[in-house]
Amino acid sequence: METDLNEAQKQVVLAPKGPILVVAGAGTGKTKTLVHRLAHLVKNGTNPESILLLTFTRRAAKEMLGRASQILDHRMMSVRGGTFHSFCHLFLRKYANALSLDSHFTILDEEDTIGFVGMARDQVVTTGTKVRFPKKETLAEIFSSCFNLQVSLEKYLQKEYPMFLGITKEIQEIKTKFSDLKLKHNSLDFDDLLDFTRKLLMSDESIRERMSSVYEYILVDEYQDTNRIQAHIACLLASKHQNILVVGDDAQCIYGFRGASVHNMLDFPKIFPNTNTIQLTKNYRSVQPILNLANAVLEKSSENYKKNLVSAFPKNSKNPYLVQLPSLEEEAEWTSNQILELYEEGITLSEMAVLFRAGFSSHLLEVQLNSKKIPYRKYGGRRFFDLAHVKDMIAYLKIIENPKDILSWNRILLLEDQIGKKYSILLFKKLESNQFQWKDDEHFFLGLPETTKDSFLKLMHCLDSVSPVIHSTQQILERILAYYFPLLESNYDDAEKRKQDLDALVLLSKQEPKLSDYLSNLILNPVEGKEIGTSNEVEDEFLTLSTIHSAKGLEWKYVFTLQVVEGNLPHSRIRTTDELEEERRLFYVAITRAKEALFLTNPAFNDKNRFTPVSRFLSDLPKENQLLQFLDPKNAQSPKEIPKDGQKEPSNETFQNIQNYFLN
């Protein structure tokens, strides 16, 4: 059964009882190893129902157990596999009474949770409230983030929503009422499932021991993605017998914003001093030059498990390419052209991907792909033209170009604080009946409240101040943006993040000074389904655009990573060493998605026309020129094709050790 495993993988599969930490580098077959470990346990007499497999998706657990069944037999489907939340749900159904909870509680989905937050908000925010409060959706996100990050409300607001710091006390009151409402109505949200499970496992030794007798082995996949609460639960379940195996890659811990902590992996041997640490370093995905770059980037990390990935493919390959370009616009154009060239050489679109740090980084490229009829799907951030604030801006431009556009009028009128649906309809009818003239009609404002009139006049003065005949598209956009930004801030709680998306609209306007041409270029020829090549191509073939976060766990032959520059990767908002190290790991993930060729683009100037030096993750490398080859975009040619710890006696104070680590 273990004949197709390498030596390190066999060590994991055949390891004796006790705590095991598997440090699995990118592409080293960690799922295969975990599957064989499961099959080995059952084959050697372990009751499959006494094995608990914790994963991050239900599909991952089902797939692993299915593969294990193919190795052994149907007994593997009796292994208790699932997500942390599904385990906690079943656990609380059985033991809720120990926490004075009714075991018939309702589980709140995201929409239900937001509804409860809204009810709590309405108890605090009344019609007479003079201060702006976050919307219920934003409050729900704030409360969940505070729990998963294990930070105070004030600290989280200070970092993510400083505009609401002045009402911290009131938001805390909403949070308290939200918790009270859930308990009153016997309802738990996803965070409560984790919270109450941990509380019960901490406080009740008899239940903790009972769970140890039910689950003889605990296995956790993607351990680097656990937050402190999830890791604490897993360790508590194993506190008596210590038969816990965790698999993960500290170098791929990139979800710190969700609460994932790299220290769950780094400090695992501190919690279980007799940990058997095994490294998987043989890579079955990428050619060696790509791995050489990944190894060099990781080598600079201040805190990690030192490992050196070695490719299973001995063939000679070219080093990753660093492509230096003058601007973001030329980066988008070069990337789209290169994708077309590769396609013409026989590389399918599904074998290529474009990765980026944040969703807005692909906006200029999306326009280029649309114009070239290249079908794509975007993951991790909505498509540029689906963004609400982009649609808002385009609506203003459409009205300037065509005052009869009823849908655009309706959209921008409803953005105004003092114009609701009723007066939006009324105002459009008045404009329409007056041939979209309003200044010379003394009866125009009859029947309208003074506040509605003031909002409308302010809007009309802005629209009247620009002309597609006199002003360039860029001038029009800059004036409309100045008017729109206060509305953006009042309509969207995350206005600062959305402003970055709108910068792309201004950049695009430089190429199309005439408004009608600009709008046509934006709106015409949307890419839907198969629009490139012949009818013989694969029906669902498309190019992948993805944030690096959403690309983790995936792979492509050819990978383009955009804007590998200071201020983007690493991001300009980083303030601490921990944040910098997570950015480094993010870059490592991007590199290790590529199987055969990797292109890193370096635009010299950003959207503010400021110089952007190449990322420190590249400039700090000691032998940069030996790891990368520089590609001149004007003459670019497409490319062708830890030692094992010694065993120690188990500690009799494991539970206290776990508590000291997670609670101090």
pLDDT reported for residue 528: 43
Question: Where do the structural domains in the chain lie, given as residue ranges?
Answer: 7-92+193-280, 108-185, 299-382+538-631, 385-524
The answer on whether 30 is annotated among ligand-binding residues is: yes
The answer on whether 28 is annotated among ligand-binding residues is: yes
Return all residues near 92 (Cβ < 8 A) that are at least 6 apart.
Answer: 99, 101, 103, 105, 188, 193, 196, 197, 200
pLDDT tens per residue, range 251-268: 999 999 899 999 999 999
pLDDT reported for residue 525: 47
CATH number for the segment(s) 7-92+193-280: 3.40.50.300
Q: Dig out the tokens for 133 from the structure.
A: 């409060």
Helices (H) and strands (E) in the chain, counts: 28, 17
Three-state helix/strand/coil letters over 427-459: HHHHHHHCCCCCCCCCCCCCCCCHHHHHHHHHH
Which fold would CATH assign to domain 299-382+538-631? Rossmann fold (3.40.50)
CATH number for the segment(s) 385-524: 1.10.486.10
The answer on whether 359 is annotated among ligand-binding residues is: no
The answer on whether 8 is annotated among ligand-binding residues is: no
Distance between CA 338 and CA 354 in Å, rounded? 11
pLDDT reported for residue 517: 81
pLDDT reported for residue 641: 40
In the sheet that holds 276-280, the strands lie side by side as 80-83, 51-55, 217-220, 244-248, 20-24, 276-280
Cβ distance 481 to 506 under 8 Å? yes
| Degrees to nearest 5, angle at CA 416 with 412 and 422 | 85
Q: Dig out the tokens for 496 from the structure.
A: 């600062």
The answer on whether 25 is annotated among ligand-binding residues is: yes
Cβ distance 527 to 537 under 8 Å? no
> Which portions of the chain are predicted below pLDDT 70?
1-3, 434-435, 438-442, 523-540, 607, 623-625, 634-652, 664
Return all residues near 403 (Cβ < 8 A) that are at least 6 apart.
Answer: 431, 436
| Degrees to nearest 5, angle at CA 334 with 333 and 336 | 65
pLDDT tens per residue, range 130-157: 788 999 999 999 999 999 999 999 999 9
Distance between CA 253 and CA 631 in Å, rounded? 31
The answer on whether 31 is annotated among ligand-binding residues is: yes
Nearest-CA neighbor of 358 among 336, 387, 334? 387
- Cβ-in-10-Å burial (0-12, 13-18, 19+) of 183 comes to middle
Same fold, 7-92+193-280 and 299-382+538-631: yes
pLDDT reported for residue 556: 96
pLDDT reported for residue 440: 60
pLDDT reported for residue 106: 85
